[in-house]
Chains A and B, each alone.
Chain A
Amino acid sequence: MTWLNAILQGILLGGFYALFACGLSLLFGVMGIINLAHGDFAVIAGYVAVVLVPSTHLPMVWGFLVVVPIFALGGYLLQRTLFQTALSRGDPLTILLVTFGLSIITENALLQAFTANGQSINIGGIIADSINPNNVISISDVSLAVLIVAVVLLAGLQLMLSRTSMGRQIRAVADDREAAELVGIDHRHVFGIAAAIALATVALAGLASGMISEFAPTTGTSNLLFAFEAVVIGGIGSLWGTLVGGIVLGIAQQIGAQINPAYQILAGHVVFLAVLAFRSRGLFAVREAA
C-alpha cells in the first residue's frame, strides 16, 4: 500500500511538474527558446499575487484572475520586444543568453525588493484538506486540484493547437517560418500569442507552487531542471508528451524517495537518462529538437 501511495503522490507531483513545464514546452516547441528565466517568471507570479491580490479583496485562491491576465499581456509584450529582437539575430545562443540575463536580473531585483525570506500564498484552511481512503493514502485537495488544472490546461492547449485556426498558425510557424509567412501569417504576432499563453501558464504554476510550498527570489531555478526533464521525456512539440513526461518524472521521484529519501531526485534523473538512451527524441516527439 505504501508503494501505491508513492505512485499516487508521484502522479500528483507530476501534475505540478507538467503545469510548470507547460509554458517551457510551448516556447521550446514553437520558438526553440530554451527559457532559463522560466522558473524566475513563476516566482514573479507568486510575488505579484502576494502584493496585488489583497488590494482587490478577492480570496487568495482566486488570485489567478488578477495574475494570469497580467502575465499573458506581459508575455506578449516580452515576445514582441526583447525575445523577437533576440530571435531575429538568427543564433539560438542569443536567446539563451538573453533569458539567462533576465534570470539573473529577476532574481536579484526580487532580492532587492523583497529580501531573501521565503513567502507563501496563504489560502487558509483548504491547504490542509485531503482525501483519505485509508490510513496510508492521503491525497491533498490542493495537489489534486493542481493535477486537474494541469490535465485540463494541457489537454485544452493540445486541442487548441490541433483544432483551432490560431493553433494551426502556431504549428505552421513552428514547422516552417518562411512558408508560413508566404501564406500570410505574421509570425511575430503568432509568436506573441504563444508567449502570452506560455506566460499565463507560468503564472498558474507560480501560484500553485506558492500555495503548496514557499517561494523566495532564488527558488525559481530549482524547479527549472525538473520542468526541462518533463519536456524532454515527453518530447518536443507535444503537450500530451509534457503531461506524460511530468507524471513519469513525478512517479520516478516518489518511488526513488520511497526506496531512500536521498534518491528522490537521482531516480528522476536516471529515468530521464534512460528515456534519452532508448528514445533520444522523447516519448511523443513530433519534431527534431531545435
Chain B
Amino acid sequence: MSAPSGLLPLDALDSRGSYRVRRSARPSGWLIPVALGVVVLLAFMPGIVSSGDTSLLINVFVLLTISTMWNLLAGYAGMVSIGQQAFIGLGAYAVVVGSINGMEPFTVIPIAAVVSALIAIPISLLVFRTKGGYFAIATWVVASAAQLVISSITSIGGGTGHPIPGLSSLSPSQFANISYWSALAVVVIALAISYLVLRSRLGLVLAAVRDDEDGARAAGARVVLARHAVFLVAALGCGAAGAVLAVSQLQVQPASAFSVQWSAEIIFVTLIGGMGTMEGPIIGTIIYFALQQNLAQHGAWYLIIVGAVAVAVAIWFPRGLWGTLTKRLRFEFFPVGYVVAPDKRVATRLRVPESAPETAVAGDR
C-alpha cells in the first residue's frame, strides 16, 4: 500500500539540529472528561428519549463498534476484509448456543466475543496466507462458508434462525434498557481498546506496516504477530457486536447475521468518515444514520443517494471527511499519530517516524 500523503518527505529531515518525535497532537487533557461526559449522557438516554430512539441508538452503537474494528484492520493494519460478518454471525450464534443451554443471554455477550476471537485463530492462519485483493475475497468466502455451516445445523434453527430464550423474566422496559446499556458498553470498550491499541507499541507497528511493510520488517517490527493480534481484536469486537444484536433483536437469522451487507455498511461508514483515523468511523456512522433517518422514506432513492455519496467522497475526499478536515485544522480528538519535528517546534505532521519506529517511541514515552 502506498504511503499516505501525510508522510514526511525524507528531504525535510535535513541536518539542522536535533529532532523530536512526539504525538501528532497534545495528549488532550480534556479528552477523558469530554469522553466521560458523553458516555454518561448517553447512559441516561433511555430515560430521555423514546424506546424507538434507543433501539435506533443500539444499531448506531453496533455499526460503530464493527466499523471501529474494521478501521483497526484496514486503516491501521492494511488488511481490507470483506468478511467481518463472519464474526458478527458467530457472536450472535454463541448467544443462541449459550442461552439454549440455560445461560443468561446478557452475560453470554463477553463469552460470545471470546468465542469469536478463538474461532478467528484458525481462520487467520488460513486467510493470512493471502494479501491485498486475495485477502478481501478470502475473508468474504470464509464468512459465506461460516453462514452455510451454521445454516446446516438444525439444532440451532438451520437456515430459518433461532429465537433467544431466557429473556421472558424481564419487563419490556427493563429489557430495552439493558439491551441499550450492553450496546453502549460494547461500543465504549471497543473505542477504548482501539485507542489504547493505537497508542501502544502495537499501534505503532501496525501503522509502520501499513505505510511500508518492508521498512517495518527491516526495522525489526514483528509484523506477523501484530497482524494476528489485530485480527483477533477485530474478531473480538465484531463478536461482541453480533451478540448485542442477537440479544436486542431477540432472535438470529443466518442470512441477516452473516450478510455481506454488514461489510458494505462498514466500508461506507469508515471510508466516508476517514479510514485510519479513530474519529472517522464515528463521523461516518453519524452521517450514515442521518441519511437513513432523513431519506429512508424515499425508498430506492435513499440508497441511490448513499451510493452517490460513496462515489463522491471516494473521488473528492479520498482521506474521508474527518481525514480531510483534520489535515486542514491539525486537530485530533484522539491523538494517536506522531510528528517528527526539529527541536525548534517547526512541526511537520507525520504518522510514523521514518526510521526505527520502535526505538523512537520507546524514547518518547
Name A219-262 residues within 8 Å CB distance of B. 221, 225, 228-229, 231-232, 236, 262
CB-contacts of A101-157 with B (<8 A)? 101-109, 111-112
Q: Is B231 an interface residue (CB 8 A)?
A: no
Q: How far is the CB of A113 from chain B (nearest CB, A)?
A: 9
Interface of chain B, helix or strand or loop or mixed? helix
Task: Return chain A residues, CB-CB under 8 Å to B1.
Answer: 91-92
> Is B44 at the interface (CB under 8 A from chain A)?
no
CB neighbours of A159 from chain B (8 A): none
Contact A101 B145 (CB under 8 A): no
A286 vs B157: C-alpha distance when bound (angstroms)? 44
Complex interface: stretch among A162-170, A188-196, A266-274: A266-274
> Are B137's CB and A232's CB within 8 A?
yes
Give B281 Cβ to nearest chain A Cβ, in Å: 14
- Residues on the A chain within 8 Å of B268, using CB: 97, 100
Q: How far is the CB of B287 from chain A (nearest CB, A)?
A: 14
A34 at the interface (CB under 8 A from B): yes
Q: By the criterion CB–CB under 8 Å, are A102 and B74 in contact?
A: no
Cβ of A1 within 8 Å of any chain B Cβ, yes or no, is no
Q: Considering the complex, give the chain A residue whose CB is closest to the CB of B132.
A: A289
Q: Does A86 contact B (CB under 8 A)?
A: yes
Is A108 in contact with B134, judged by CB distance below 8 angstroms? no
Highest count of chain A CB atoms <10 Å: which of B130, B300, B314: B314
Provide the residues of chain B in CB contact with A57, threshold 8 Å.
none
Size of the chain A interface, CB-CB below 8 angstroms: 51
Report which of B138, B149, B152, B299 forms a contact with A276, defined as CB distance below 8 A. B138
Residues of B in contact (CB 8 Å), total: 46
Q: Is A32 an interface residue (CB 8 A)?
A: yes
Are the CB atoms of A269 and B145 closer together than 8 Å?
A: yes
The number of A-B residue pairs with CB atoms under 8 Å apart is: 144
Q: Is the CB of B303 within 8 A of A104?
A: yes
Given contacts A269-B144, A273-B145, contact A93 B2 (CB under 8 A): no
The reply to whether the CB of B148 lies closer than 8 angstroms to some CB of chain A is: yes
How far is it, in angstroms, between the C-alpha of A281 and the C-alpha of B135 when the chains are bound? 11
Interface secondary structure of A, over-half rule = helix
- Of the candidates A97, A103, A106, the one having the most CB atoms from chain B within 10 angstroms of its own CB is A97
Distance in angstroms between the alpha carbons of A229 and B136 in the assembled complex: 11
- Given contacts A108-B304, A277-B126, A280-B129, whether A229 and B311 have CB atoms under 8 Å apart is no
For A101, list chain B residues within 8 Å (CB). Answer: 306-311, 314
Contact for A86 among B129, B267, B314, CB less than 8 A: B314
B148 and A266 contacting across the interface, CB-CB below 8 Å: yes
CA distance A276 to B134 in the complex (A): 9
Which chain B residues lie closer than 8 Å to A104 at the CB level? 264, 303-304, 306-307, 310
| A interface list, Cβ under 8 A from B | 28, 32, 34, 82, 85-86, 89-98, 100-109, 111-112, 221, 225, 228-229, 231-232, 236, 262-263, 265-266, 269-270, 272-273, 276-277, 280-282, 288-290
- Interface residues of chain B, those whose CB is within 8 Å of chain A, are 1-2, 74, 80, 126-127, 129-138, 140-142, 144-145, 148-149, 151-152, 260, 264, 267-268, 271, 275, 299-301, 303-304, 306-311, 313-315, 318
